[in-house]
């Protein structure tokens, strides 16, 4: 019963989010996808039909801009006439901003997808990894904003002229992700080589433990979230430190929702694949998934370096 | 050999998952800053003297930058603060060649070095940065075409298309001209998802 309820809940959330994005009002004649418009004649063509990816990117951008405008307006009102509802709405819009912001490319979703392809995990592992990753991702963004606002960055730059937090952290994260992918690849290779020594002569899956989850989340989440940097810097710059912390936290929870959804999708997909092709070849398929996921981790880690 | 059969639902699962995995690869992307641009073409009797680009940043980015650079907290940007802020933003966007792409008679034109002409907070509390792109294209008796597009290939900055009111031509008395927008479908960017939109001015000496 619980399983059924959680499935219905997940589906409802997914449909709700998709509909919200796709039905959001479009800004007329302002976007990068804009239409062939002749200024001379004043005639306006209908423009190209957008494919689904373009439409999602477009709508996501419009919603994000709108949410940020609302946050700025509410902050202005809060400055003039402080009321609890302003605070509550800022936190709520920050949460929504986090959800929509992390739907776009980046934010470790692909890395997490690849990771859960390569390891046997329970749903709670996915939720935990998603939460910790989002938290570290948000925290590194918040710290970056703090450094920028408090001018620590300038001190670092004086000591190390080439220092740039937003450039350094992805490199560290990239190296760590490559290491994780590499370790998983070596594991597959070793298990494949020594398969007669393993259970039933087949490749086995490793259960995830807390240590693994935390180490992986730390490696993935190190890249600071630029969205949080801007949001937190904005509040810090107007001396609203509490609001800066609360809104960053709220945005992090929003991002966690999307990341967790991706993790659960990956776990679900892995289970389905194993069930579809399973029976006699479950171990071989599992190894293939593990190798594919690990390979993707190495590639994605390398992408972070450039 | 056992034949593998995949049901429609399973196939859909695999398809949706594949789209999720392969459609969004870029690690650093999606807009974090929004810019509304304005374009001014400045003509003299002999030549197109310069193109002025005005970037008007979104409210949050503007407020963040303003508060970072209003060092004396007087609620306004003093000339010294403006200079520092202008340099900082220019340094940031120079990494992407200040986003502008110019074509002269359908050929990619060498990009002039931009100079900060002005930086201001507008009445709607949005930061406006004006760049001057010096030019030296002579105005002749034959039509010439200059096409200008502003976009960020990395999509970190989302630069909207200029509105009709956002495009101005100075020195109209010296030239005959037409203005139009053209989408360049040959030069897509950001995983081939976006086509740059060029503002096209076709001009010749006033007859």
What tens digit of pLDDT does each residue of A189-210 get?
Answer: 776 666 544 444 444 455 667 7
pLDDT tens figures, B183-200: 888 888 887 778 888 999
Mutate to test the interface with A, among B8, B24, B185 (most CBs of A within 10 A): B24
Say yes or no: B160 contacts chain A, CB-CB below 8 A.
yes
Mutate to test the interface with B, among A21, A57, A227, A228 (most CBs of B within 10 A): A57
Task: Name every chain A residue with its beta carbon within 8 A of the beta carbon of B28.
Answer: 106, 170, 226
In the Cβ-directed half-sphere of B197, how many Cα atoms lie within 13 Å? Answer: 21
Mutate to test the interface with A, among B16, B60, B196 (most CBs of A within 10 A): B60
Task: Say how far apart CA B128 and CA A261 lie, in whole Å.
Answer: 39
Q: Write the secondary structure of A46-104 as one string of H (helix), E (strand) and C (coil).
A: CCCCCCHHHHHHHHHHHHHHHHHHHHHHHHHHHHHCCCHHHHHHHHHHHHHHHHHHCCC
> What string of DSSP letters covers B11-77?
HHHHHHHHHHHHH---SS-S-SEEEEEEEEEEE-SSEEEEEEEEEEE-HHHHHHHHHHH-TT-SSS-
% of chain B at pLDDT higher than 70: 86
pLDDT tens figures, A100-112: 888 876 667 777 8
pLDDT tens figures, B84-99: 999 989 988 887 788 9
Task: Say how far apart CA B27 and CA B32 lie, in whole Å.
Answer: 14
A269 and B17 within 8 Å at the Cβ level: the answer is yes
The token pair at B140 is 């002749």
Q: Which residues pair with B47 in a beta bridge?
A: B138
- Band (pLDDT 50/70/90 cuts) for residue B57 is very high
**A200 vs A224, residue with greater confidence:** A224
Tokens 């001379």 map to which residue?
A40
Find residues 9-68 of chain B whose CB sits inside 8 Å of chain A: 10, 13-14, 17, 20-21, 23-34, 36, 58-61, 63-64, 66-68
A33 and B25 within 8 Å at the Cβ level: the answer is no
Say yes or no: B117 contacts chain A, CB-CB below 8 A.
no
pTM of the entire predicted model: 0.72
B26 and A105 within 8 Å at the Cβ level: the answer is yes
Residue A45: exposure state from Cβ atoms within 10 A (0-12, 13-18, ≥19): exposed
Strands (E), A85-168: none
Residue B25 has pLDDT above 70, yes or no: no
pLDDT-wise least confident of A26-35, A164-173, A251-260, B104-113: A26-35
Task: Say how far apart CA B21 and CA A211 lie, in whole Å.
Answer: 26
Taking residues B23-50, what's their average pLDDT? 79
The token pair at A19 is 């509909």
DSSP annotation of B133: E
**Complex ipTM:** 0.73
Closest CA–CA distance from residue B160 to any residue of chain A (Å): 5
């Amino acid at each position: 019963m619980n399983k059924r309820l959680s499935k219905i809940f997940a589906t409802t959330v997914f449909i709700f989010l998709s509909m919200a994005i796709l039905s959001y009002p479009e800004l007329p004649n302002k976007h990068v996808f804009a239409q062939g418009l002749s200024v001379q004649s004043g005639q306006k063509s209908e423009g190209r039909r957008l494919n689904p990816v373009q439409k999602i990117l477009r709508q996501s951008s419009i919603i994000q801009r709108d949410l940020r405008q609302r946050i700025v307006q509410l902050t202005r009102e809060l400055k003039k006439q402080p009321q609890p509802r302003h605070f509550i709405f800022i936190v709520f819009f920050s949460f929504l901003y986090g959800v929509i912001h992390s739907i776009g490319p980046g934010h470790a979703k692909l890395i997490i997808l690849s990771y859960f392809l390569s390891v046997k995990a329970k749903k709670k592992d996915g939720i935990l990894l998603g939460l910790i990753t989002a938290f570290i991702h948000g925290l590194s963004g918040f710290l970056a904003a703090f450094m920028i606002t408090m001018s620590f960055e300038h001190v670092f730059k004086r000591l190390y002229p080439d220092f740039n937090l937003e450039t350094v952290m992805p490199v560290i994260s990239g190296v760590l992700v490559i290491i994780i992918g590499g370790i998983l690849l070596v594991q597959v290779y070793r298990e494949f080589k020594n398969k007669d020594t393993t259970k039933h002569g087949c490749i086995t899956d490793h259960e995830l433990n807390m240590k693994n989850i935390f180490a992986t989340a730390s490696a993935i989440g190190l890249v600071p979230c630029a969205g949080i940097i801007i949001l937190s810097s904005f509040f810090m710059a107007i001396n609203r430190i509490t609001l800066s912390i609360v809104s960053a936290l709220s945005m992090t929870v929003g991002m966690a929702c999307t990341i967790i959804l991706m993790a659960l999708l990956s776990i679900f997909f892995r289970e389905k694949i194993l069930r579809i092709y399973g029976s006699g070849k479950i171990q071989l398929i599992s190894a293939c998934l593990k190798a594919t996921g690990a390979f993707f981790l190495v590639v994605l880690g390398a992408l972070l370096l450039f | 050999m056992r034949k593998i059969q995949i049901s429609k639902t399973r196939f859909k699962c695999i398809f949706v998952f594949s789209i999720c995995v392969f459609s969004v690869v870029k690690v650093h992307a999606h807009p974090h800053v929004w810019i509304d641009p304005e374009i001014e073409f400045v003509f003299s009797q002999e030549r197109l003297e310069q193109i002025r680009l005005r970037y008007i940043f979104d409210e949050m980015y503007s407020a963040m930058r303003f508060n970072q650079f209003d060092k004396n907290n007087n609620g306004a940007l003093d000339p010294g603060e403006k200079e520092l802020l202008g340099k900082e933003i220019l340094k940031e966007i120079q990494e992407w060649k200040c986003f502008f792409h110019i074509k002269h008679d359908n050929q990619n034109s060498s990009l002039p070095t931009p100079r900060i002409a002005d930086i201001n907070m507008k009445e709607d509390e949005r930061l406006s940065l004006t760049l001057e792109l010096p030019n030296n294209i002579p105005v002749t008796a034959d039509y010439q075409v200059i096409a200008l597009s502003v976009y960020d290939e990395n999509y970190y900055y989302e630069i909207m298309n200029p509105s009709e009111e956002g495009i101005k031509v100075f020195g109209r008395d010296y030239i005959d001209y037409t203005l139009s927008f053209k989408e360049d479908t040959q030069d897509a960017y950001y995983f081939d998802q976006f086509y740059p939109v060029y503002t096209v001015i076709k001009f010749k000496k006033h007859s």
